[in-house]
């Protein structure tokens, strides 16, 4: 889950960005499409048309929430197709031909994935590490800034990083944090990097670090999602006697907080950073590619 990042729309794609995109291996772009929810259009002779549906919805849908949920909403149970949520909202052709085709693919991916061209190229070229991009509602690191603000933020962000590895099962001898780091990318943007050893680094210890790093990055996503869960995530659908469908909230974000252990500590560390430094406006995970 991601919240809405402010205006992450494509205004322009440069020639250099198109050239870089065209150098990305086709199988890597294909894997990225699948990760992002795109699918090949069935029964297409070309086998190159990809489509994506509207994945998220906050308001109630008569078909998806009503008829499919077993409620009496006056819809034939045999006609449960929902054009609003099942029809594609975008399409692209991959593999593409020429610079214009590559630009069209980049624009479609950036628009639907709420990414800039720089974001997209980073996601497609990132190797041997995973990155959590955290965007903040305010700009706490804009110059001039007091040293104390940086000191507190660095302490809290590394604490979050350490706890991600603890949740992943890291032990003292794993040395996993050697490959990880925190970066201040902009006044409102910090990056947590979960690094992995180079391919030439072999052995059981290096392999364990590779596994732990990916698992640690995945651990961060769960509390982020629940801390920023929507009303729909926390609700069930009810129907009034009048036939109206409503969302009834049954849990609060705090109900998903772990009872003990590093998972609870990670939740608390994220909550502390939100209140002491800045709230999270958005986040994105870039999953790095392993290079043999």
Question: What separation in angstroms does the CA of 153 have from each of 44, 134, 136, 158, 262?
Answer: 51, 13, 12, 8, 20
**Residue 4 token pair:** 């809405």
Nearest residue to 9 via CA among 137, 124, 120, 114? 114
- What is the reported pLDDT for 243? 84
Query: Residue 250 — very low, low, confident or very high, per pLDDT cuts 50/70/90?
Result: confident
Residue 136 is inside which H or E element, if any?
A: strand 129-136
> In angstroms, rounded to a whole number, what is the distance separating the alpha carbons of residues 103 and 232?
36
Grouping H, G, I as helix, E, B as strand and the rest as coil, residue 97 is: coil
Query: Residue 44 — very low, low, confident or very high, per pLDDT cuts 50/70/90?
Result: low
- What is the reported pLDDT for 266? 97
DSSP readout, 157-206?
A: HHHHHHHHHHHHT--GGG-GGGG-EEEEEETTEEEEEEE---TT--SHHH
Grouping H, G, I as helix, E, B as strand and the rest as coil, residue 284 is: strand
Query: Residue 200 — very low, low, confident or very high, per pLDDT cuts 50/70/90?
Result: confident
CA atoms within 13 A on the CB side of 173: 3
pLDDT in tens, 213-247: 999 999 999 999 998 888 888 888 888 888 888 88
Query: Residue 107 — very low, low, confident or very high, per pLDDT cuts 50/70/90?
Result: very high
Cβ pair 132, 219 in contact under 8 A = no
> Stretch 15-30: mean pLDDT, rounded?
96
Query: Residue 179 — very low, low, confident or very high, per pLDDT cuts 50/70/90?
Result: confident
- What is the reported pLDDT for 7? 43
């Amino acid at each position: 889950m991601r919240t809405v990042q402010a205006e992450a729309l494509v205004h322009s794609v440069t020639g250099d960005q198109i050239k870089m995109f065209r150098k990305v291996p086709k199988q890597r772009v294909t894997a990225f499409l699948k990760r992002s929810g795109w699918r090949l259009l069935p029964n297409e002779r070309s086998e190159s048309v990809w489509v994506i549906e509207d994945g998220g919805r906050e308001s109630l849908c008569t078909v998806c929430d009503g008829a499919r949920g077993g409620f009496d909403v006056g819809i034939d149970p045999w006609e449960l197709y929902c054009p609003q949520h099942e029809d594609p909202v975008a399409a692209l052709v991959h593999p593409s031909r020429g610079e214009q085709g590559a630009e069209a693919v980049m624009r479609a991916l950036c628009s639907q994935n709420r990414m800039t061209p720089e974001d997209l190229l980073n996601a497609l070229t990132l190797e041997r590490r995973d990155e959590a991009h955290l965007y903040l509602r305010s700009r706490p690191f804009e110059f001039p800034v007091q040293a104390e603000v940086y000191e507190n933020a660095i302490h809290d962000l590394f604490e979050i990083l350490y706890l991600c590895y603890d949740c992943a099962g890291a032990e003292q001898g794993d040395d996993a944090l050697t490959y990880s780091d925190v970066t201040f990318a902009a006044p409102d943007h910090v990056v947590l990097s979960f690094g992995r050893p180079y391919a030439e680094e072999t052995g059981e210890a290096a392999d364990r670090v590779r596994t732990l790093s990916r698992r640690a990055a995945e651990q961060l996503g769960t509390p982020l999602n629940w801390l920023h869960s929507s009303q729909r995530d926390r609700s069930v659908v009810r129907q009034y006697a009048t036939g109206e469908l409503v969302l009834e909230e049954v849990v609060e974000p705090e109900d998903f907080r772990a009872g003990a252990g590093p998972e609870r500590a990670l939740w608390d560390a994220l909550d502390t950073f939100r209140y002491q430094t800045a709230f999270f406006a958005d986040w994105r995970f870039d999953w790095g590619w392993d290079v043999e």
